[in-house]
Amino acid sequence: MTTNTYRIQDERIQQTLNRMHREASSQGMTIIKGLSKGVFRKLRPEDMKDAYIAISRNQGQYIHKLLVQRKAKNIVEFGASFGISTLYLGAAAKATGGQVISTELLPEKCAVAQANIDEAGLESYIDLREGDALETLKECPDGIDFLLLDGWNDLYLPLLKLLEPRFKKGTLIYTDNASFRSARPFLEYIHNHPEKYRSRRVADEKGGSELTEYLGAI
Ligand SMILES: C[S@@+](CC[C@H](N)C(=O)[O-])C[C@H]1O[C@@H](n2cnc3c(N)ncnc32)[C@H](O)[C@@H]1O
């Protein structure tokens, strides 16, 4: 995935993303502090309330390019955090004439993500929903072109099952942190249903990313 020279051809979006990536890359201590709360108990979203824990620039550029090439219009995201990935999706939607539905559990993070979306000028392309994805994504249009899974990994499988009736032949699912233990039930389901899903690893950086294609209902 060598896309380092790739730029989003919209200065307002690119400048906002540059600032956000800079902020995210200086959060080493914030992340360690958050993760330390998960040493003796399961990590909770609130433990990471100040942390971006975002996709990398490479991942964002890869996703943006893929969506533009595929002319993806109906785009859904689980886990906005402060909105880095959401801005890549929104930039793609602006280029394809599409729409993004994204969701974030924590109200504080949602407010910052919305401010970042506004700063990038993408408010008319992104519907950011505050709350638990299992509720907020119940209402989504049919024929999803692209789904980004980047929230709490143990929800990947329930969310896939929730959204599966909205998939169409060729729907793409990009799963971040696919190597994490809590993502295993999701991967097992995908790999145990080769008649429905074709899947491959597309990045090993961070927690590993998987790109999955829905082959259609049988
Ligand atoms: C890894 S971060 C997302 C990073 C973001 N995609 C980016 O690249 O900038 C995961 C986010 O999912 C959110 N989250 C966790 N459980 C959730 C749920 N049930 N519904 C919606 N969001 C959730 C967390 O609060 C956290 O901000």
Please check whether residue 14 lies inside any domain of the structure.
Answer: no
75 close to 92: Cβ distance less than 8 angstroms: yes
Please check whether residue 172 lies inside any domain of the structure.
Answer: yes
Please check whether residue 21 lies inside any domain of the structure.
Answer: no
Instruction: Ligand 1, residue 106: give the atom nearest the CA.
Output: 25
Please check whether residue 7 lies inside any domain of the structure.
Answer: no
Q: What's the CA-to-centroid distance between 51 and ligand 1, angstroms? A: 10
pLDDT, mean of residues 142-154: 96
pLDDT tier for residue 3 given thresholds of 50, 70 and 90: very low
Which range (31-45, 61-75, 145-159) has the least confidence?
31-45
In this prediction the pTM is 0.96
pLDDT, mean of residues 167-174: 98
Please check whether residue 60 lies inside any domain of the structure.
Answer: yes
Q: Ligand 1: which residues within 6 Å by Cβ?
A: 45, 52-55, 79-81, 84-85, 103-106, 109, 132-133, 150-152, 155
Q: What is the CATH number of the domain that holds 107?
A: 3.40.50.150
Q: In this structure, what are the phi and psi dihedrals at residue 101, rounded to the nearest 5 degrees?
A: -110, 120
Distance CA 166, CA 207 (A): 27
**Residue nearest ligand 1's atom 4 by CA:** 54
∠ Cα 83 75 112 (to 5°): 15
Structural domain tally of the chain?
Answer: 1
∠ Cα 162 130 85 (to 5°): 80
Give residue 72's domain range. Answer: 55-214
pLDDT, mean of residues 24-47: 91
Please check whether residue 27 lies inside any domain of the structure.
Answer: no
Question: Does 24 have pLDDT greater than 80?
Answer: yes
Please check whether residue 64 lies inside any domain of the structure.
Answer: yes
Q: Check residue 217 and give its pLDDT.
A: 78
pLDDT, mean of residues 161-181: 96
Question: Does 65 have pLDDT greater than 50?
Answer: yes
The overall average pLDDT reported for the chain is 95
Distance CA 60, CA 164 (A): 24
pLDDT, mean of residues 163-191: 96
Q: Check residue 218 and give its pLDDT.
A: 65
pLDDT tier for residue 84 given thresholds of 50, 70 and 90: very high
Please check whether residue 190 lies inside any domain of the structure.
Answer: yes
Which range (32-41, 124-133, 156-165, 172-181) has the least confidence?
32-41
